Amino acid sequence: MRRIIIYYSQGGTTDLIAKTLAKNLNADLVRIHDLKNREGFTNKIFATINAFRETKTDIIPAKVDLRGYDTVYFGTPTWTGNPTPAILTIIDRCDLRAKDVVLFATMDSNRGDSNISRLEEKVKLRGARVIESFTIATKNKKPEKLVSDTEAIIEMKDLKMY
């Protein structure tokens, strides 16, 4: 069973979660890079507006070939309760027909569930079957705690099975 984790991370927290998943699940890893500058106060305001409006963005890689993968993970930070433009863009460019999908979101607050709900709608429209999802609260947590929280989720949700 081949797995791939596709994710976007701006500050590095979602990157740490994705790398922990990949290591523990023996999965391939693809980090999506948003070519739009999202740093700084003004750019962050526009980033949250883009997330709310589900505005597409230019990304690298522009597309990911999922042939040969049984399970696809999508991960993203939560911006104003929404997935990031970069992850929405890559989902719209993937052929997810007959793919099993696991969704995960990192969050500073408690709005990750709305993020997951929207991701679920998007991947189902692309033909995927969502088999599992989870959120990870990240606020004020040290990297070691984030790794242990991720490993606990892997065990609790039996993600090695997929």
Domains and CATH numbers, the chain: 3-161 (3.40.50.360)
Residue 104 predicted with pLDDT over 90: yes
Distances (CA, A) of 26 to 1, 4, 19, 75, 145: 10, 9, 10, 16, 21
pTM of the model: 0.91
What does the DSSP 8-state code read for residue 63? Answer: -
Residue 89 · residue 20 · CB < 8 Å: no
Residue type, 40: G
Sign of the torsion formed by the C-alpha atoms of 17, 136, 37 and 86? positive
Residue 136 predicted with pLDDT over 70: yes
Residue 148: phi, psi to the nearest 5? -65, -35
Three-state secondary structure call for residue 116: helix
Three-state secondary structure call for residue 59: strand
Per-residue model confidence as pLDDT tens digits over 72-99: 999 999 988 889 999 999 999 999 999 9
List Cβ neighbours of 97 (8 Å cut-off, separation of 6 or more): 126, 127, 128
pLDDT for the residue numbered 38: 72
Residue 91 · residue 119 · CB < 8 Å: yes
Residue 113 predicted with pLDDT over 90: no
- Report CA 12 to chain centroid distance, whole Å: 12
Residue 100 · residue 131 · CB < 8 Å: yes
Distances (CA, A) of 45 to 7, 40, 48, 54, 80: 21, 9, 5, 14, 10
